[in-house]
Structure 1
Amino acid sequence: MGHDPQNHFSGPVTVFHDRRLPEEALPAGYAALIDAYRLAVPVPLRLAAIGQRHKIYEAEGWRIFTPRHTPHADLAGHLTFALRYEGLDLCVLKTLFRATGPEPVADIVRAAPTGSFARRVWFLYEWLMQARLDLPDAASGAYALIVDPEQQWAAGGVTSTRHRVKNNLPGTPAFCPMIFRTPTLEAFVTRNLAGEARALVAGVPADLLARTAAFLLLKDSRSSFEIEGEDPPQDRIQRWGQVIAEAGRRPVDRAELERLQRIVIGDARFVHLGLRTEGGFVGEHDRTTGAPIPDHISARHEDLSGLVDGLTAFDRMVAPALDPVLAAALLAFGFVYIHPFEDGNGRLHRFLIHHVLAERGFNPPGVVFPVSAVILDRIEEYRRTLESYSQRMLPLVRWRPTDRNNVEVLNDTADFYRYFDATPHAEFLFSCVARTIDVDLPAETAFLKAYDTFKARVLNIADMPDRLLDLLFRFLRQNGGTLSKRAREREFAGLTDREAAEIEAIFTETNPVAASAAAQIR
């Protein structure tokens, strides 16, 4: 606390932490606090400043307010501004409280003991710091919500009589990422995707639905390995698919995560199982020296036990109070940033998505949405989503290479993994789930219906085993609805010209989209 921020709140600027402002403006709220107290935190995705015009507008990651919104140039003024207009950034707040110490916060409460913002700051200090301020319990004041539900997604709410507030934070001090309300997320939640999925499968015959579900499950399992750049044997893909099919049946605790890691890894001769006992990172190694080149640095191994306990407590205590897709985004992306294991983190991260959706009954019984397959299709967007936070966090992690070409983290980073803005992650996951309902589930059901019709009609022309029927269907699909000369001369030499023509017509009639697409490619 050697830096005294009083009278050090900056004046108008055009650049803040290498981020240009749309006009010369006065940093306010979190931006002002980060600058005045020199807080080493991931800078929020959106910052606030006071402009010169008399209208509020957003541009280039800034929300520019009018001169009449100018806060008092002190701790209380900018804290109140942040809570009123910017929502909660728990990482900034906890780092700020460490910098101020308890007395300046207690002074804010003493100056306005019945004020809702003062009591919210008071609660947040004690909740985040796990320390009690030298203040008597609040005697009056209407109960205030800690999270403004019009700005950010909140949980149910537990009354704190000491502060006369309702704690509706979507987590615990050990793990509490936040999600801002956006038009995109509001639209997805309003759609009721779970209801759409149930209505979609309601008219599908049970046997057809079972086959659809089996294909989607295998597709998801295979895609999850492909995302990691792996091409495992079919039996390993099927084993992991069976694990995904059982998602949501068991509580996720540390023992369950370690059990799942053992299944994911398979051959563990060269992999340490269980929580890491050294550093970890995602990235490359220098080709000459082998030195680490991190894109993301995982949580310190000393912090893993507490962070994983925070994750599992969130799943048990908080996730049921949130929209299932939002809860899945918080749990799964929190896990992948922590990266608690030496290997297997990516597949377990995607398993946790299935776990929350299944546990909450979001997907129809027996049906797994192939989220991993959609992620694979959108792999660059997936990487950008991960980088939306990891790139802002990476410069704040001090590390050195080890003699094993790993990383050793030198500063306290645990809060970076506990508290982050998961809004981009929630939007991305919702878009993936919507794609599975809008495209994958109906497309696979339609495909199997078409295949069954094709198969039944072909058997009226020529009796052949299922293996050969499958091959015939694949050849026609690959060749735009016509049998190649090679296929006619080899596998299907027994068909007459009339029978071959009739089968081609059946395929085109039952699979018009596939036939048309393949024909265009040709």
Structure 2
Amino acid sequence: MAGAGTTCGGLWLAETFKAEPFGDLAVRSYIGTNRRTTDLGPYITEIYPPQMYPGDGAADHLQFHIRHEPINLELLSRVFSVAGPRFVQEWVNSKPTSQYARRAAFLYEFLTGEDLLQPSGLRGSYVSALDSEKNLSANIVGTEDRISKWKVINNMPGTRFFCPAIPLSERLMDAFNYNISRHYDEIIEEFGAELLSRSASWLTTRESRASFAIEKESGETNRIQRFAQVIATWTGHDGPPAHGSDVPDGRKPYASILSEQRLSRLQQAILGDAALLPSCGYRESPVFVGQTSHHSQVVHYLAPPAEDVAVMLEGIETFLERTQYQSPVMRAAIASFGFVYVHPLIDGNGRVHRFLINDILRRDGATTDDVILPVSVAINDDPTSRRAYDDVLDKISSPLMNQIRPHISFAAKPTTYPDGMESDLVFSEDGMARPTWRYANYAPHVIYMADVINTTIVHHMRAEAVYLRSHDNARLALKEICEMPDTLADEIIRSVTGNSEDSVGRKLRRDHSQVTDEMWASFVQAVRDAFAQKR
């Protein structure tokens, strides 16, 4: 009988096959004396009594992992790569009616793309590949995706090339259940739909400006306005409305949302016709996120190779199709962050990544056609907010880079690739990184997204509504003192709130001799009183 401290399940597999997932295990199981669970982060420790020890074979511990733990696809991909098909084939041959052996055989084929032999005598009720109580899984909408070879229902939330492996938790479910409509409706109830609709244009421009700031680019006015126009016209659509019409061009829920045709058009719309790019659409060259330091290249994140781009984006589209009617916050988080980790474009990846958040929320019906959530404003609000964004990106990139950085080098002479880009990057260990690129745990990203959206709605959007209401009240107060056009009232409001009241006051009295010092003082007081009423 196994002694206290003996590993089992996924941890046993990782140690035995030297196949530790770069993203770590969400659950680590050990044999102890009594059954108990400890959750002190960053993983959950499960202690089982000695009689729960599964055995000494790989199949024993794979069954334990499938039965008792959230399935870690990165782990299994690495285990199968090292062990090969033999132990899974022998297991399903010896126990063809076992639901765990059948699920293991299905997972082997799903993750490796290799076929196993179906044993004679295989039978049993159909069983889902993933336990939906432990793992994020696909919806069963309409006809189940039944794999008759193994009597398994394929409820994987993606494809072999992109399938997020997310262990469910109470905190994650809180993020899943964040109700955007309810929080937005509360603001409508407080301020009114008309006032909020007036703020839409300004919020869209703020979203555009903040998106540039996140990338540490100032963003000249025409670039900001161009991206704001893209946000306003492309969000929720496959393209901008047809010229002279308010009817969208071929609006589709999810199909082709990341197709090369759409991304190429979107990239051109964001960057403009004058962008100095050798080509648009999917890149055909290696790419990394980094910087030059002391004449040497520093790599912060290495994206998947160009040959993986199309199949990974198709995997994200499949994820969106197979998780329909689930949490819009979860779907927007995984699809948008999944996109930026693939980094499929030569330029514009960050802006498209943040655009996709609103794009997917609108397609899912979580926001209406007149609402843009300025999430980039919340991301870039202050150094702490920006650091939180960088930290969540690092949840996948840092563990990956810790493992593959020694294998990255730079050639003396750059190579010119088919898309016209030159690169001196050298990396030949794609097989080492692919399980992380394909099967990452996006739970931190979903939790982060719910927090950012909440901050966006209850703080930034509410603050804009408060400002507009105060502005309206200030206009009315000024006109109670003296009739004036809106443009003049707005100039007075800007001068008082911008602390330039003395210079504007002098100009106003010079241009309008009837304005006395007393009248100007009353203007200033009226504006201050209007903006002092924050609620």
Q: Give the shorter-chain TM-score range.
A: 0.7 to 0.9
Alignment of 1:304 onto 2:309: yes
Q: Which runs of 5+ in 2 are unaligned?
A: 239-255, 415-422
Distance verdict in 2 for CA 1:178–1:466, change over 3 Å: farther
Instruction: Please tell me the residue identity of whatever aligns with 2:440.
Output: F
Instruction: Please tell me the residue identity of whatever aligns with 2:237.
Output: R
1:375-414 deviation line (CA, Å, top 9, x unaligned): 1121100100000111111133332213346422211233
Distance verdict in 2 for CA 1:150–1:456, change over 3 Å: same
Inter-partner Cα distance in structure 2 for 1:477 and 1:70: 70
- Aligned match of 2:161: 174
Instruction: Please tell me the residue identity of whatever aligns with 2:90.
Output: D
Inter-partner Cα distance in structure 2 for 1:229 and 1:429: 21
Would the aligned equivalents of 1:476 and 1:507 in 2 still touch at CA under 8 Å?
yes
Secondary structure of the residue aligned to 1:460 is: helix
Alignment of 1:27 onto 2:2: no
Secondary structure of the residue aligned to 2:359 is: helix
Q: Aligned residues, how many?
A: 488
Would the aligned equivalents of 1:282 and 1:295 in 2 still touch at CA under 8 Å?
yes
Give the Å deviation of 1:72: 2.0
Would the aligned equivalents of 2:118 and 2:150 in 1 still touch at CA under 8 Å?
no
Q: Which runs of 5+ in 1 are unaligned?
A: 1-10, 13-23, 516-522
Distance verdict in 2 for CA 1:449–1:138, change over 3 Å: farther
Aligned partner (choices 99, 102, 107) of residue 90 of structure 2: 107
Give the Å deviation of 1:344: 0.8
Instruction: Out of 422-431 and 493-502, give the one that drifted further.
Output: 493-502
Q: Which runs of 4+ in 1 moved over 6 A?
A: none
Instruction: Please tell me the residue identity of whatever aligns with 2:304.
Output: A
Give the Å deviation of 1:198: 4.0
Distance verdict in 2 for CA 1:507–1:106, change over 3 Å: same
Alignment of 1:295 onto 2:300: yes
Distance verdict in 2 for CA 1:161–1:277, change over 3 Å: closer
Percent of aligned positions with the same letter in both sequences? 28
Distance verdict in 2 for CA 1:53–1:501, change over 3 Å: farther
Give the Å deviation of 1:350: 0.8
1:283-318 deviation line (CA, Å, top 9, x unaligned): 11132x3x3211111111232232233233434x22
Inter-partner Cα distance in structure 1 for 2:42 and 2:197: 47
Alignment of 1:260 onto 2:266: yes
- 1:58-207 residue pairs with structure 2 within 5 A? 58-68=39-49, 69-136=52-119, 139-157=122-140, 158-198=145-185, 200-201=187-188, 205=192, 207=194
- Aligned match of 1:56: 37
Inter-partner Cα distance in structure 2 for 1:71 and 1:43: 25
- Aligned match of 2:369: 365
Inter-partner Cα distance in structure 2 for 1:477 and 1:137: 81
- Aligned match of 1:214: 201
Secondary structure of the residue aligned to 2:136 is: coil
Inter-partner Cα distance in structure 2 for 1:137 and 1:240: 60
Q: What is the RMSD computed on CA atoms of the aligned residues?
A: 2.6
Distance verdict in 2 for CA 1:118–1:486, change over 3 Å: same
Distance verdict in 2 for CA 1:492–1:88, change over 3 Å: farther
Aligned partner (choices 351, 367, 371) of residue 347 of structure 1: 351
1:17-67 deviation line (CA, Å, top 9, x unaligned): xxxxxxx94333222222211226414253404164523212343433324
Inter-partner Cα distance in structure 2 for 1:52 and 1:88: 22
When normalised by structure 2's length, the TM-score is: 0.84
Distance verdict in 2 for CA 1:296–1:393, change over 3 Å: same
Alignment of 1:407 onto 2:425: yes
Instruction: Please tell me the residue identity of whatever aligns with 2:375.
Output: V
- Aligned match of 1:6: none
Instruction: Please tell me the residue identity of whatever aligns with 1:410.
Output: S
- 1:364-383 residue pairs with structure 2 within 5 A? 364-377=368-381, 378-383=385-390
Inter-partner Cα distance in structure 2 for 1:496 and 1:330: 61
Inter-partner Cα distance in structure 1 for 2:199 and 2:161: 40
Secondary structure of the residue aligned to 1:295 is: strand
Inter-partner Cα distance in structure 1 for 2:475 and 2:99: 69
1:56-89 deviation line (CA, Å, top 9, x unaligned): 2123434333241433232122212222333122
Alignment of 1:387 onto 2:394: yes
Instruction: Please tell me the residue identity of whatever aligns with 2:152.
Output: V
Distance verdict in 2 for CA 1:284–1:439, change over 3 Å: same
Instruction: Please tell me the residue identity of whatever aligns with 1:263.
Output: A
Secondary structure of the residue aligned to 2:168 is: coil
Secondary structure of the residue aligned to 1:443 is: helix
- Aligned match of 1:46: 26
1:435-480 deviation line (CA, Å, top 9, x unaligned): 222223333223212211211221232344444433322333344x
Instruction: Please tell me the residue identity of whatever aligns with 2:409.
Output: R
Would the aligned equivalents of 1:138 and 1:162 in 2 still touch at CA under 8 Å?
no
- Aligned match of 1:427: 447
- Aligned match of 2:226: 239
When normalised by structure 1's length, the TM-score is: 0.86
1:351-388 deviation line (CA, Å, top 9, x unaligned): 11111111111113311111111111211001000001
Inter-partner Cα distance in structure 1 for 2:183 and 2:43: 36
Secondary structure of the residue aligned to 1:114 is: coil
Would the aligned equivalents of 1:119 and 1:163 in 2 still touch at CA under 8 Å?
yes
Aligned partner (choices 234, 237, 242) of residue 249 of structure 1: 237
Give the Å deviation of 1:151: 1.8
